[in-house]
């Protein structure tokens, strides 16, 4: 039989029992939908995260507390803090560093005029405004004198100011953070998210004031940017300075570590790749279950059509004709499942990314080409793999024995 005839015959056979066909397709459809959704979300997440990282610049270096070996493990939470404001001042004195950003970061409630909002409180230095390229709706950022004077002044994100003050001017008024009064000196224009921070739901205070506010001595971390030297040279020089500042003797392990933007990008890529592979493997179980379902249905179909097979072979059909017919049915069944799965996968991806983008900036709709190709090829492969055994059994039936079946 020609391929066209085999295809039409397969379609006719599948439409004979629509309910069973749809139920059989379901496992493959869900599996392919899941693979496309997982791979597409994984790629979109990777692009979003890398975009957030690169938005700050590719030459930033993060100086952090603890041991680098524990950087990506739960034990890092228990690392002994070591970075102080004095460390950041020592770094600030170095001409080979363009920016030094000491940071104390926590979440807290900001209240004022009977309203309250949970925000990210960032204790920082004046370099923050320049590094993040902040633009102001009202007022401006604090300066070095505010940091040195441990001033209780605050810059509000757009949403924070709107929640507490509405359309009224915020600058000159006060808000409470951790039950302490802070005078508003600036409001940032609506800015969305940048570098994993929702700027609209953030407030900024002098780093020294943040240390006083929360009774802390140590930084969350310090960001530095080289000025005219390489990242490797910067890491070397900062290491020497910090070891000296922390009075570490030769042979003592560092009580801090540094991570460059390139290392952050590699870490993010590895994590998202591993997560995509893991979730795709879980989705592949649906394909396996769907394939087994197809094989079972094909065996049932062979049993139900034994007399038909016997009649065809009695009229001259060869083994390869019967094999081709049943194999084509399996392939058509899985190919249709693949098409439906791809279409639904694209739709599910669009809905998922639209939902995420409503709460997190930087997510754009895109569908994984690898996911679509994988969907088509896997569906065809499943049809051949799981349809071959029933088709082979059908082709080996003897005409006389087949015609005896009721």
Q: Band of the pLDDT at 55, cuts 50, 70, 90?
A: low
Q: Band of the pLDDT at 186, cuts 50, 70, 90?
A: very high
pLDDT tens, residue by residue, 261-274: 777 777 777 777 78
197 and 243 together in one domain: yes
Residue 155 in any domain: the answer is yes
Answer with the residue of higher pLDDT: 223 or 68: 223
Q: Is the pLDDT of residue 21 over 90?
A: no
Number of domains in the chain: 2
Return the exposure string of 81-103: e unless at least 16 CB atoms fall within 10 Å of the residue's CB, then b: bbbbbebbebbbeeeebbbbbbb
* CA-CA-CA-CA dihedral for 47, 49, 55, 57, to nearest 10: -100
250 and 270 together in one domain: no
Last residue of a domain, one of 254, 275, 298: 254
Answer with the residue of higher pLDDT: 218 or 310: 218
24 and 133 together in one domain: no
- Do 184 and 156 touch, CB atoms closer than 8 A? yes
Residue 59 in any domain: the answer is no
pLDDT tens, residue by residue, 133-170: 899 999 999 999 999 999 999 999 999 999 999 989 99
128 and 234 together in one domain: yes
- Do 97 and 230 touch, CB atoms closer than 8 A? no
Q: What is the pTM of this model?
A: 0.67
250 and 289 together in one domain: no
Residue 60 in any domain: the answer is no
Which of 9-13, 230-234, 286-290 is least confident? Answer: 9-13
Q: Is the pLDDT of residue 405 over 70?
A: no
119 and 161 together in one domain: yes
326 and 202 together in one domain: no
Residue 353 in any domain: the answer is yes
CA proximity to 231, closest of 334, 357, 98: 98
Round to whole Å and give the CA distance between 302 and 324: 13
Tokens encoding 251: 């042979």
In this predicted structure, what is the pLDDT of residue 272? 74
Residue 285 in any domain: the answer is yes
213 and 299 together in one domain: no
Residue 44 in any domain: the answer is yes
Structural domain range at position 94:
81-254
How many helices and strands, by DSSP H and E, does the chain display?
13, 12
119 and 37 together in one domain: no
State mean pLDDT over 77-84: 74
231 and 335 together in one domain: no
Last residue of a domain, one of 220, 254, 288: 254
Answer with the residue of higher pLDDT: 23 or 143: 143
Q: What is the DSSP letter of 397?
A: -
Q: Is the pLDDT of residue 195 over 70?
A: no
121 and 153 together in one domain: yes
Residue 72 in any domain: the answer is no
- Do 141 and 129 touch, CB atoms closer than 8 A? yes
Give the count of beta carbons closer than 10 Å to the beta carbon of residue 266. 12
Last residue of a domain, one of 198, 221, 254: 254
130 and 17 together in one domain: no
Residue 37 in any domain: the answer is yes
Q: What is the mean pLDDT of the chain?
A: 82
Q: Is the pLDDT of residue 400 over 70?
A: no
């Amino acid at each position: 039989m020609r391929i066209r005839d085999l295809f039409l015959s397969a379609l006719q056979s599948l439409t004979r029992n629509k309910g069973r066909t749809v139920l059989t397709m379901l496992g493959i459809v869900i599996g392919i939908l899941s693979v496309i959704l997982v791979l597409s979300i994984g790629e979109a997440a990777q692009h979003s995260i890398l975009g957030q990282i690169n938005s700050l610049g590719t030459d930033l270096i993060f100086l952090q507390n603890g041991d680098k070996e524990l950087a990506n493990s739960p034990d890092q939470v228990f690392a002994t803090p070591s970075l102080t404001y004095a460390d950041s001042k020592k770094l600030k004195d170095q001409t080979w560093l363009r920016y030094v950003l000491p940071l104390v970061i926590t979440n807290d409630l900001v209240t004022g005029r009977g309203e309250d909002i949970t925000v990210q409180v960032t204790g920082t230095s004046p370099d923050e405004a320049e590094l993040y390229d902040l633009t102001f709706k009202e007022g401006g950022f604090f300066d070095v004198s505010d940091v040195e004077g441990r001033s209780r002044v605050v810059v509000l994100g757009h949403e924070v100011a709107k929640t507490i003050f509405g359309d009224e001017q915020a600058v000159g008024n006060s808000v409470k953070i951790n039950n302490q009064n802070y005078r508003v000196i600036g409001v940032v224009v609506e800015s969305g998210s940048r570098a994993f921070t929702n700027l609209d739901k953030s407030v900024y205070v002098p780093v020294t004031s943040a240390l006083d506010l929360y009774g802390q001595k140590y930084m969350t971390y310090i960001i530095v940017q080289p000025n005219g030297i390489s990242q490797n040279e910067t890491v070397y020089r900062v290491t020497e300075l910090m070891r000296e500042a922390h009075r570490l003797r030769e042979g003592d392990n560092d009580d801090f570590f540094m991570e460059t933007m390139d290392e952050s990008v590699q870490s993010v890529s590895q994590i998202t790749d591993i997560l995509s592979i893991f979730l795709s493997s879980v989705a592949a179980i649906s394909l396996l279950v769907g394939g087994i379902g197809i094989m079972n249905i094909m065996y049932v179909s062979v049993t139900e059509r034994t007399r038909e097979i016997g009649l065809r072979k009695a009229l001259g059909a060869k083994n390869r004709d019967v094999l081709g017919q049943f194999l084509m049915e399996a392939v058509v069944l899985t190919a249709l499942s693949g098409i439906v799965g791809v279409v639904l996968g694209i739709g599910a991806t669009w809905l998922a990314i639209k939902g995420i983008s409503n709460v997190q900036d930087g997510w754009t709709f895109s569908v994984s080409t690898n996911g679509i190709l994988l969907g088509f090829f896997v569906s065809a492969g499943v049809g051949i793999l799981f349809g071959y055994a029933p088709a082979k059994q059908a082709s080996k039936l003897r005409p006389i024995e087949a015609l005896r079946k009721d």
